[in-house]
A and B are shown apart, each in its own frame.
Chain A
Amino acid sequence: MSSFVLQRFLSFFATLAVTSVVVFGVLEWLPGNAAQVILGETATPESLAAMEEKLGLNQPALSRYVAWVGGLLQGQSGMSISYDTPTAVLMMERMHVTLPLAIMAMSLTVLVALCLGLYAASKQNTAGDVGVMTLSQLGLAVPNFWLAILLILLFAVQLQWVSAGGFPGWSEEDGGGFWAGMAALILPAMALAAVQTAILTRVTRSAVIESMSEDYVRTARAKGLSKQQVLWRHVLRNAMIPVVTVMGLQFGNLITSAIVIENVFVLPGIGRLIFQAIANRDLIVVRDVVMLLSAMVILINFCIDLLYAWIDPRLKTEAAAA
């Protein structure tokens, strides 16, 4: 078991390392140097020189890369150009919105999709199944930011149950509170969850159907297990393997889709941060946020890999034998 975990751990670190190089590299190969991009075309030579100094552009790329990575590992990050605060502080602040949003959306997705997918698989080719599949087709086709706007139109403009955007904050001193915060996140979470639910429902349905047609299901029935018992003891665990894979991929999708959704609802999250940073040409923030988001995605994939090994014993023993 441990050799499998070790392999995955090494792979995880390697991917992180390569990602950091690429992120750093992309921002190196800019048209013009970083200072020019940040200050734009109207910059004077003096301000350019000052910016270059500030960014340490006179030093070789390698040492800047090492300094950056070293700083990250020690928990220190660069300073944002536009906000003049460490990016780490900015990012932590924004995560207070994005992380709960992502978790809400993921929970909604998993809950709804697993139920619908199971239902559709057990009622295959009947009206119920067709209904679920049609619904999922619609879910796939609808752009999530349009759904967000429609939700706002319905719940904020028409019914006026929630506000049309913005985030009041989690603490009550700032005028917010737990439930106020949740209320502000519910529509965005729904918009985010819609597409992912459609995808996961389909995957769940086909995974369960596929599992049900496997030979070991026939064996289980021959032992005298009822259809229900077969479903719970044999089919579901096997069907979870592809489902968990997709769930892992989806979390990454969720985080990036949040960029658009946060802009629709004007939520002060990571998505909005990076968007504003790009508009302000604040490359330091952009670089650090991209690194953070990529690292999160890689971490999720690593966790999924570990989850596999727990679910599927074939992986554990194959790796041990290898």
Chain B
Amino acid sequence: MTTSSTTPLLSVRNLRVALQTSHGQLEALRGVDFEMQRGDTLGLIGESGCGKSLTALAIMGLLPDRATVSGSIELNGTELTPMSDEALCTLRGARMAMIFQEPMTALNPLHPIWKQIAEPLQLHQGMDLATAKARALELLDRVQLPRARERLDNYPHQLSGGQRQRVMISIALACQPDILIADEPTTALDVTVQKEVLALIRQLVAEDGMGLLLISHDLGLMRDQVESVMVMYGGAVVESAPTQELFGMRAHPYTQGLFAARPKLGLKRGTRLQTIAGNVPEIFNWPLGCAFAERCAYVQDSCRQTLPELERVPNTGRVKVSQRADLSAPFAEHWVRCPEWEKLEALK
């Protein structure tokens, strides 16, 4: 991520989301921090339940009523968290757009395609129907939907999954937003179609100079699509680094586990796939300290008491993990080694 003196496109600080449930208040996001500049592509990776979608919804202001948000979300310098829903409505679809996982159900089955694309245009740019319909055609061409002119009057059920996702992309880009948030946009699609849609997103984002926040649980996808990656676990960001660096060396034991768990070609037959032992703690039972403590190969007692801070030491395979019992206590430190780095080093 480039540092710049200009206002960042998106700045998220200490984002916390609490959900009101029948079991009481649950902390679903526990302090998410990151920043994006215009034109950045950022990947957000983690397993189900780690809070990636919640982060996206929080930015868009689309959390359910029973969620309480605290912290700061700034879009182009404008603070979003205190804004009313009406005010956020002027930004949604216009300055920030989102596409979702299930293209099958994301479109209203009763409205023709062109109408659904025209909607944000009418809403934010005050276009009349005829102009909007013409613009919808342009957009469909841009997302490379074959036979776009015929498709304009089609209904969603007449299109395939990949085609529907293209329509979703055209809806998102209609008003030329500053940032596009894509929440697992290809997970529900066929593998062959996935590559095409991702390539399309990358191309369009580059053309318009938009910021892209790409959410996925798929490591391989991240490698080609984004410049930086954030890894989330247990409602917080545990590691973030430029993609190349991350794929070269992982600091956080969880990320190490993620990478190690990937099946690799060329493994000897009968080799057991590596897994990360244990389970994500239930959201009802967040531990006091590090959420990953029980599954970490390097865990110390202090890890269970307080949330640690990680600091990677550049050009080495070592990460310093610091914790302190409270604000007045001194830091306790321990070190974490990245086994992959060591292997690579050993090969040199």
Q: How far is the CB of A195 from chain B (nearest CB, A)?
A: 30
B107 — which chain A residues lie within 8 A by C-beta?
Answer: 216, 219
- Contacting pair A317 B85 (CB below 8 A): no
- Contacting pair A216 B62 (CB below 8 A): no
CA distance A216 to B158 in the complex (A): 16
Is A210 at the interface (CB under 8 A from chain B)? no
CA distance A226 to B86 in the complex (A): 7
> Which of A107-115, A159-167, A308-316 lines the interface with chain B?
A308-316
Question: Across the two chains, which residue of chain B brings its CB closest to A221?
Answer: B62
Is B149 at the interface (CB under 8 A from chain A)? no
Is A225 at the interface (CB under 8 A from chain B)? yes
Question: Across the two chains, which residue of chain B brings its CB closest to A238?
Answer: B110
CA distance A219 to B157 in the complex (A): 16
With contacts A215-B105, A224-B94, A312-B110 known, what are 13 further pairs, Cβ within 8 A? A215-B100, A215-B102, A216-B105, A216-B108, A219-B106, A219-B107, A221-B62, A222-B92, A223-B92, A225-B93, A314-B155, A317-B155, A317-B158
Interface residue total, chain B, C-beta cutoff 8 A: 32
Q: Can you give 9 contacting A-B residue pairs, CB < 8 Å?
A: A215-B100, A215-B105, A219-B168, A219-B171, A221-B62, A222-B100, A238-B110, A313-B112, A317-B155
Given contacts A312-B110, A317-B158, contact A224 B123 (CB under 8 A): yes
Is B89 at the interface (CB under 8 A from chain A)? yes
CA distance A214 to B106 in the complex (A): 8
Within 8 A of A (CB), among B2-22: none
- Contacting pair B97 A313 (CB below 8 A): no
- Contacting pair B106 A216 (CB below 8 A): yes
Within 8 A of A (CB), among B261-317: none
- Contacting pair B100 A218 (CB below 8 A): yes
Is A8 at the interface (CB under 8 A from chain B)? no
- Contacting pair B105 A214 (CB below 8 A): yes
Question: Across the two chains, which residue of chain B brings its CB closest to A222?
Answer: B98
Is A96 at the interface (CB under 8 A from chain B)? no
Within 8 A of A (CB), among B77-115: 85-86, 89-94, 97-98, 100, 102, 105-112
- Contacting pair A317 B106 (CB below 8 A): no
Is A234 at the interface (CB under 8 A from chain B)? yes
Q: How far is the CB of B130 from chain A (nearest CB, A)?
A: 19
- Contacting pair B109 A238 (CB below 8 A): yes
CA distance A219 to B167 in the complex (A): 12
Is B238 at the interface (CB under 8 A from chain A)? no
Given contacts A215-B100, A311-B110, contact A224 B158 (CB under 8 A): no
